[in-house]
Amino acid sequence: MTTAIKEAVYTRPWLYPKQHDAIFDPARYSVIEASTKSGKTVGCIVWITEQAMQGKAGWNYWWVAPIYPQAKIAFRRLKRALPQELYEANETELTITLANGTIIWFKGADNPDSLYGEDVYAAVLDEATRMKEEAWFAVRTTLTATRGPVRIISNVKGRRNWAYRMARRAEAKDPNMAYHKLICHDAVEAGVLSEEEVLDAQRQLPKDVFEELYLAKATEDGSNPFGLHAIAECVAPLGEGPAVAWGWDLARGKKAGSDWTVGIGLNKDRAVCGFDRFQAPWNQQIERIRWLTGIVPALVDATGVGDPIVEELQRGPGNYEGFNFTSQSKQQIMEGLALVIQRSDIRFPDGVIVVELETFEYEYTRTGVRYSAPEGLNDDCVCGLALGNHHFRDSGPPRLRYVG
């Protein structure tokens, strides 16, 4: 019986460095997009077991898979890994109770309503791209009282799923979130996957399927107005100044804690040479915008509460013009930005700008074309870049302007 165990020495199984760093990241939420057979599952089995080893009797830890039979796979793997004297398994409930009394549950997410109600101290969401978003909502509620950490792991499966959006939020460094990618070449280099097997898969599988399953690259689904390949062609290091045009998208509090004020400056070659992304009270925003922009012509988001900010900016030195975002005006400047991206006539650095450009979408509605970020993601950098690009065509030498 597990109660007879007084003391045991635990040695963590070997994990290759990128695998370890992804799974044992100190962030509360670690989102990991990974190649098949790159070690994400075994690494997270180690992680959830160690979480449970540090808990107290009666504490619950969850492994959640898209369907119950998939949860059984991880259940059986952990049983094989643990010495039999250190746990008790319940084959009916699909639980493993460790010697310290903590319980690791293996659950299917096919009925999200069944996941509500418990207090959970840590969780793994396995193959998250194949899981209903409602399952994540339910699991998140179970972590509320405990403030438990979670690992969200999956192969890439297109762009229209909640796990892809979570990965982009983590990649954009949302608070408490970390993003990691494990691809087949990482596993080959670490010696856990055969290069010959990868090359064979590349020969046998369609290009898009191989890139998703082995390189963790989402396929382009036709909803991005810029084109993923075109975006990649425009990536370059931050350009040299001075800026000849600035675009400023202002945070308006639409998404508490996640809306950003973004400024993007373009030089004479239409390369991003100035970039700032921050959150601050209005008075500090005004000071920061003035300090960064100087007397360079700037186009500033004047939509809604942004209008008085533009008026305040225009009372001081500088060349500020307001831009109201409507469905029609947003379509106009986004189409202008798409044109220069597809012609490779603009340059921007890798990072959050590229992340937002890649996730940006358009759809046809009864009233026209709607351009926006997917629900839960930001488009502040895209809007700042579009404003800067729109103003670039009219910008000339900086002009001093003062309105008393």
pLDDT of residue 2: 43
Rounded mean pLDDT of 302-328? 88
H helix count then E strand count, the chain: 14, 15
Q: In the structure, what pLDDT confidence band is assigned to residue 399 with cuts at 50, 70 and 90?
A: very low
pLDDT digits (tens, 9 = 90+) for 363-390: 766 666 788 887 778 899 999 999 999 9
Global pTM reads 0.68
Q: Is residue 295 a contact partner of residue 400, using CB atoms and an 8 Å limit? A: yes
Rounded mean pLDDT of 136-155? 97
Residue 3 in this model has a pLDDT that exceeds 60: no
pLDDT of residue 1: 40
List domains and CATH numbers for the chain.
2-215 (3.40.50.300), 228-392 (3.30.420.240)
* Mean pLDDT score across all residues of the chain: 89
pLDDT digits (tens, 9 = 90+) for 348-361: 999 999 989 988 88
pLDDT of residue 364: 65
Residue 404 in this model has a pLDDT that exceeds 50: no
pLDDT digits (tens, 9 = 90+) for 164-178: 999 999 998 899 999
Which range among 3-7, 113-117, 136-140, 320-324 shows the weakest confidence by mean pLDDT? 3-7
Residue 396 in this model has a pLDDT that exceeds 70: no
Q: In the structure, what pLDDT confidence band is assigned to residue 162 with cuts at 50, 70 and 90?
A: very high
pLDDT of residue 319: 92
Give the highest mean pLDDT range of 4-8, 18-22, 308-312, 325-329: 18-22
pLDDT digits (tens, 9 = 90+) for 181-227: 999 999 999 999 999 999 999 998 878 888 889 999 887 666 788 98
pLDDT of residue 317: 87
Q: What is the spatial distance between Cα 377 and Cα 172, in angstroms, rounded to a whole number? A: 9
224 or 38: which carries more pLDDT confidence? 38
Residues 6+ apart with CB under 8 A from 268: 244
Residue 7 in this model has a pLDDT that exceeds 90: no
Q: What is the spatial distance between Cα 340 and Cα 288, in angstroms, rounded to a whole number? A: 28
Q: What is the spatial distance between Cα 404 and Cα 400, in angstroms, rounded to a whole number? A: 13
359 or 54: which carries more pLDDT confidence? 54
Q: Residue type for 204, please?
A: Q
Residue (of 182, 202, 205, 234) closest to 339 by Cα position: 234
pLDDT digits (tens, 9 = 90+) for 224-247: 889 888 999 999 999 998 999 999
pLDDT of residue 5: 54
pLDDT of residue 136: 97
Residue (of 208, 226, 171, 227) closest to 350 by Cα position: 171
Q: In the structure, what pLDDT confidence band is assigned to residue 147 with cuts at 50, 70 and 90?
A: very high
Q: Is residue 60 a contact partner of residue 121, using CB atoms and an 8 Å limit? A: yes
